Amino acid sequence: MKDEKHFETRVIHEGYKSSQHFDSLAPPLYQTSTYTFANAKQGENRFAGEEEGYIYSRLGNPTVGILEDRMASLEGGEAALAFGSGMAAVSAVLFSLTKSGDHILCSQGVYGCTFGLLELLQDKFSIQHDFSAMDTEEEIRAMIKDNTTCIYVETPINPTMQLIDLQIVAKVAQEKGIPVVVDNTFCSPYLQRPLELGCDIVIHSATKYIGGHGDVIAGIVVGTQEKMAEIRMTTQKDIGGIISPFDAWLLLRGLKTLAVRLDRHCESADKIAGLLATHPAVDQVIYPGRTDHPQHAIMKKQMKKPGGMISFTIKGSKEDAQRLMDDLHMIKIAVSLGDAETLIQHPATMTHAVVPEEARAKMGITDTLLRLSVGLESTEDIWDDLEQSLNKVKFPSDVI
């Protein structure tokens, strides 16, 4: 029997041996803040790193450790770290890769709170950043500075669904000796594995598809053993953005159905995207699975499936977009994604409200753009709700 199991098997079994935990089928929840030592010398040895074992749950916890081992395996990394939120993960990684006077090169769009963190790093620590479409090797090379210490990429980009060719980015970064960090939240390791494409660190808001049930806030970072150990004993330990054992346990439970959930999310999103494109109130549908998506070829190359996220613009105004959301019955207005429920939000006034209007425009975030996280309900019911609301959109006079 081969040693390497398929993804769908590893997502259920990896990192856990029931024989080491009283033969419990489900990973136990170790809800403890600290651990006892057999004697003073053992405590000294553990603090000195001369003996393996747990010390204090801010530094490590058995339930959290199972989650970290599983996520490292799924992403094809050597090690992983779990955090109390996606932004705790993002901030820990950026703090570890930069110092005052450094420069970060970013994809053209990023999550609103990531944008806010970049602004904070610039204002407080003189860590500069620039945005790039990263369409070609030449463009990336031209944007790299002597003090660039990190390339930070979202793909697909939140919420414009633009894609970045990770192999191109990794090639240039390796030439320059610069680490590439990828926010893989929209895909999860089931759909995309950036480390296998040459990137160095992967970040997840595990709140989303990893958890999948809208009941946990968490973040994950995956990379080399050396880098994860460095972050664990510096920015994670000293800033303290750790995950609780219970939240780690919830993620382990959610992970077991990741593959089957994402298969359904993707299948439904493809149907809904096609239906949206036929409605006269919709101006544009942005979904990587559509052949009219400008980076459809990149999706085919580096993603297993197009994902469960759709962005679309309507014909009308900001008020029309907001009215469309208000007229929905089943679909919930909420700013998360990857849940069993279908969720819709208005990025310009919600997730990306912190981004100045001029910067939003450069990212492609308009007042009529809506982001839809397609859930696990019947696609017929999802479309019925969208259609009845879209039918109420009043067209501007120039398009009647």
User: Which residues are the active-site residues?
Assistant: 58, 111, 183, 208
DSSP 8-state symbol, 157: P
Helix (H, G, I), strand (E, B), or coil: what is residue 150? strand
Give the containing element (helix H, strand E) for 173: helix 166-176
The CA–CA distances, whole Å, from 190 to 76, 100, 166, 351 equal 11, 36, 16, 25
Based on its alpha-carbon atoms, the radius of gyration of the chain, rounded to whole angstroms, reads 22
Contact indicator for 205, 185 with CB cutoff of 8 Å: yes
Instruction: Return the closest-CA partner of residue 377 out of 257, 272, 250, 251.
Output: 272
Q: What contacts 95, CB < 8 A, 6 or more positions away?
A: 235, 239
**Cα atoms in the 13 Å half-sphere on the side-chain side of 129:** 25
What stretches of 178-310 show up as alpha helix (H) in DSSP?
188-191, 225-231, 237-239, 245-255, 258-278, 296-302
Q: Which amino acid is at 308?
A: G
DSSP H/E element including 311: strand 309-314
- 70 neighbors 14 (Cβ within 8 angstroms): yes
Q: What is the DSSP string of 65-113?
A: HHHHHHHHHHHT-SEEEEESSHHHHHHHHHHHH--TT-EEEEES---HH
Write down the residue that tokens 């070829």 correspond to. Answer: 297
Among candidate residues 162, 167, 125, the one with its CA nearest the CA of residue 302: 167
Least Cα distance to 303 among 165, 200, 198 occurs for: 165
Distance separating alpha carbons of residues 109 and 64, to the nearest angstrom = 31
Phi, psi of 28 (to 5 degrees): -70, 155
Cα–Cα distance measured from residue 149 to residue 129, given in angstroms and rounded to the nearest whole number:
10
